[in-house]
Amino acid sequence: MEKKPVLEFSHVDVMRSKDLVIQDATFTINQGDYVGVVGPNGGGKTTLLLAIFNFLPIKNGSIHLFSKTIQAFSEWDRIAYIPQGAIHFDTHFPLTVSELVSLGRITHANIGKPLKKTDWDAVNVSLNLMGIGDIAHKRIGSLSGGQKQRMFIAKALVRNPEILILDEPVAGIDATGLENFYKLLSDLNLKKNLTILIVSHDLSSVFCRMTKILCVNKNVYMSDITKEIDPNVALKKVYGEHFHFVFHEHECKGDFHHD
């Protein structure tokens, strides 16, 4: 079956504060891809995501979403975004889990109006999909880090987007929670054919669970993740020639270090 492109970059340059942060980026992401976005701090990963949403103007090149230029694209409910630090909120804010997730159903058309039964049904479906239906009425300030992450994914999914984009979403989650989190995303990717882009420093999880890797350090390199791939070939392009990654596939674990 032919793969359907959902996001296409063609020779894209992006500036921030008069600095060229992304240079000549060309790559294609297809429907159903699970993409790990990796690279050193300050390399331009977040800038790349902001360009996708047209929050940062591109200097050169073109970006297409679902075959439309981002300048002409208007169906933003097809894309969900979880920014850095989403789980770090005022823990005293008096919302329940279901109330926060329901905010994802608010649109320009219904803002200020009570949500309909269909909206609350969608909230319940999203909560159960994330395995947190049993805490729907808990206050958001009482949740664990892992529960907060699931809640924000539920909020992102409550409008049935086709692309989910997450910017370093796992800060503050322990190793067991991390594995559960990435498995949860894998399940969403496989069961719903959801296209996922996730900025991650967890290279082991990227090579264990994802289908493509997008390496960003001003320049951008994309590679399919297959059993034959040598991770170091792609990673040295953005981390430097002294970078060495050790991946233990049978355990889905690994470590990396600089020589």
Start-end of H helices in 132-240: 145-157, 175-192, 203-209, 231-239
- Report residue 165 CA to chain centroid gap: 3
Percent of the chain at pLDDT exceeding 90: 49
Does 96 map to a domain? no
Q: Tens digits of per-residue pLDDT, 27-72?
A: 999 999 999 999 988 899 999 999 999 999 899 999 999 999 999 9
Sorted by sequence, the CB contacts under 8 Å of residue 176 that are 6+ apart come out as: none
CATH number at residue 41: 3.40.50.300
Range of the domain at 20: 5-88+163-258
Residue 210 CA to residue 223 CA, distance in Å, equals: 11
Percent of the chain at pLDDT exceeding 70: 89
The full DSSP string for 26-52 is EEEEETT-EEEEE--TTSSHHHHHHHH
Q: Tens digits of per-residue pLDDT, 104-155?
A: 998 877 787 888 999 999 999 999 988 899 999 999 988 887 888 889 889 9
pTM recorded for the entire structure: 0.86
Amino acid occupying residue 79? I
Q: Residue 101: is its pLDDT beyond 90? A: yes
Radius of gyration of the chain (CA): 19
Does 181 map to a domain? yes
Does 208 map to a domain? yes
The count of structural domains within the chain is 1
Does 149 map to a domain? no
- As given in the structure block, the two tokens for residue 30 are 């297809």
Does 138 map to a domain? no
Residue 172 pLDDT grade (very low, low, confident, very high; cuts 50, 70, 90): low
Strand partners, 203: none
